[in-house]
Amino acid sequence: GEVRERLARAVAATKRRGSQLPAYLFSGEPGLGKSALAEAIAGELGVPFVRLFATAVNTPERLVRELRALPEGAVFCLDELHT
């Protein structure tokens, strides 16, 4: 649908420009494929995919350290974040 088309256009434009993909937030029930989608986008762009489980981030300082350590242009997935 519309979301897929918008995302496909953003990925294509990012590849043409050689720039970073704009930020996207995927949210929804477990099992919908949000992490798989993020990993597929990273693969399509040829950039690193970094997945961190929320349970491993027990302090804001740890999250900041992880974010600062991200490779340039990486797609970052904070998984299993339950509110």
Inter-helix orientation angle 2-17/34-45, to 10° = 30
Q: What is the pLDDT of residues 20-72, one digit of tens each?
A: 877 888 888 889 999 999 999 899 888 899 999 888 888 889 989 998 999 98
Backbone angles phi, psi at 59, to 5 degrees: -140, 155
Backbone angles phi, psi at 75, to 5 degrees: -95, 125
Runs of H (alpha helix) within the chain: 2-17, 34-45, 60-68
The predicted model gives 1-29 an average pLDDT of 84
pLDDT band at 83 (very low <50, low <70, confident <90, very high): low
- Give the distance between the most distant pair of CA atoms in the chain: 38
